[in-house]
């Protein structure tokens, strides 16, 4: 029995090898979100019911009917290819260590999502809300807010990523609305709490790992995500594995036209563990480079995350203390990025 340390405590894993089970897509539900864009309240409630079932039983679901144009997605993958093809000396000009808000380039092995791992085998480029230095929250030093770093002499890169960011920010509000319906809250419950969300978007490049693989050093080690939920778009290369309730790793292959959405630790805390923040990992053994675009969707920096009244009772009282969203996310980043761990100790 292996253990993975997460922000909400240790989690058990029955199998510690790198194999996974290939299962039918139905093991991870597919939910059509097109009704969330309609005026049909009953249809929206049906989406909420499907989300509730997925989030309590699996913690993951595929989302189709999301409304993000395919051209916007294609442009973002093209931009990612162009950035990661740059020489290393160009990429490190926007190294993430130069940004107090974790924006920019992360090199191979510089991130370690599993604290017992030896570094994650991927490169990344991060952005979030691109706020100017004179923004009131930036001036106040609120965590999660600030300007992005952008590479020079890479035409169209910034525009492609910001277009994708804008589309997924809109879609994320539909997911929040579905979560509210799933929890039998007012459909707009999360709106005032996510007007200026900490929403970290990444483009990632995973080299293929061929030959013997050290289970402590894979594409991204076993972990649960930190924010409320993640919207993941991947290329056609299967790599993502999800831990089921039996402690077995199952494959979550890409479905054309659908995002993969999973519950994060903040939403698990908010719901008192009712919504499952499921462990997952990525291992690229395809023989070719793999690209993905995870979008970690959260709340406003100073939102207070405390167990919802509807998710606790005398038999199951609140399992988590209230915490400000930025305090929780900052603590998780400090454990993940090598340069922040050094800063914390110094």
The mean per-residue pLDDT over the stretch 247-258 comes to 92
pLDDT digits (tens, 9 = 90+) for 228-252: 999 999 999 999 999 887 788 889 9
pLDDT tens digits, 216-228 = 999 999 999 999 9
Architecture label for domain 18-345: Sandwich (2.60)
Short-list 179, 178, 175, 209, CA closest to 290: 209
pLDDT band at residue 205, thresholds of 50, 70 and 90? very high
Task: Delimit the domains of the chain by residue range.
Answer: 18-345
């Amino acid at each position: 029995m292996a253990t993975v340390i997460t922000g909400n405590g240790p989690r058990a894993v029955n199998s510690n090898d790198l194999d996974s089970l290939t299962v039918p897509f139905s093991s991870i539900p597919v939910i059509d979100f097109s009704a969330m864009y309609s005026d049909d309240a009953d249809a929206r409630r049906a989406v909420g019911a499907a989300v509730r079932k997925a989030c309590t039983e699996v913690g993951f679901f595929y989302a189709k009917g999301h409304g993000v144009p395919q051209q916007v997605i294609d442009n973002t993958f093209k931009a990612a290819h162009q950035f990661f093809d740059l020489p290393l000396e160009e990429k490190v000009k926007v190294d993430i260590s130069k940004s107090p808000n974790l924006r920019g380039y992360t090199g191979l092995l510089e991130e370690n999502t599993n604290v017992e791992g030896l570094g994650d085998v991927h490169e990344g480029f991060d952005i979030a809300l691109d706020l100017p230095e004179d923004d009131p929250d930036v001036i106040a030093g609120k965590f999660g807010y600030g300007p992005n770093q952008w590479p020079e002499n890479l035409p169209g890169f910034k525009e492609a990523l910001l277009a994708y960011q804008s589309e997924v920010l809109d879609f994320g509000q539909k997911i929040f609305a579905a979560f509210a319906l799933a929890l039998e809250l007012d459909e707009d419950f999360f709106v005032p709490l996510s007007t200026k969300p900490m929403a970290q978007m990444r483009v990632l490049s995973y080299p293929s790992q061929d030959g013997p693989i050290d289970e402590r050093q894979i594409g991204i080690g076993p972990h649960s995500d930190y924010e409320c939920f993640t919207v993941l778009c991947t290329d056609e290369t299967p790599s993502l594995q999800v831990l089921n309730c039996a402690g077995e790793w199952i494959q979550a292959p890409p479905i054309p036209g659908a995002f993969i959405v999973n519950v994060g630790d903040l939403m698990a805390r908010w719901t008192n563990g009712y919504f499952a923040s499921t462990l997952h990992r990525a291992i690229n053994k395809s023989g070719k480079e793999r690209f993905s675009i995870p979008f970690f969707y959260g709340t406003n920096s100073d939102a207070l995350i405390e167990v919802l009244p509807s998710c606790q009772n005398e038999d199951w009282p609140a399992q988590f203390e209230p915490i400000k969203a930025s305090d929780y996310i900052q603590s998780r980043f400090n454990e993940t990025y090598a340069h922040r761990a050094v800063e914390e100790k110094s």
